[in-house]
Amino acid sequence: MPSIFDKILSGEIDCHRVYEDDHTLAFLDIAPLAPGHTLVIPKEAREHLHQLSDEAAAALGRALPRVARAVLAATGAEHYNVLQNNGESAHQAVPHVHFHVIPRLGDQGLGIQWNSGKLEDAEGILKRMHTALTTDESPSR
């Protein structure tokens, strides 16, 4: 079933376009946390960040700083958050990779409760990560 972002990409639903290139689209969020809150999505339809092709991921990496500069210039904000969620329990509402660029304007913007823990089993985690990186044992690729 197509997501709202698929419908935006196909032209079925209109949006307020901020930026577009061959691989990405950025548009204003219709339920912004602050004026200028912008979504940046890949044109490649994938639900999670780790599922993107290297080409789509690189295109997002190029688009995000450009969009962030535009958000700052348009809003006068000096600070902002870039937010990206993967999976329902991580608060992903639309099953299509997307980044939020959210300016911080006084009390408007993203509020974060950060409950830090303690780093444990660093060597074991590093070993498993290094193995995954060298053997491309990525989940759901």
Residue 52, token pair as written in the block: 């993107």
> What span, in angstroms and rounded, lies between the C-alpha atoms of 67 and 70?
5
Residues known to be catalytic: 98
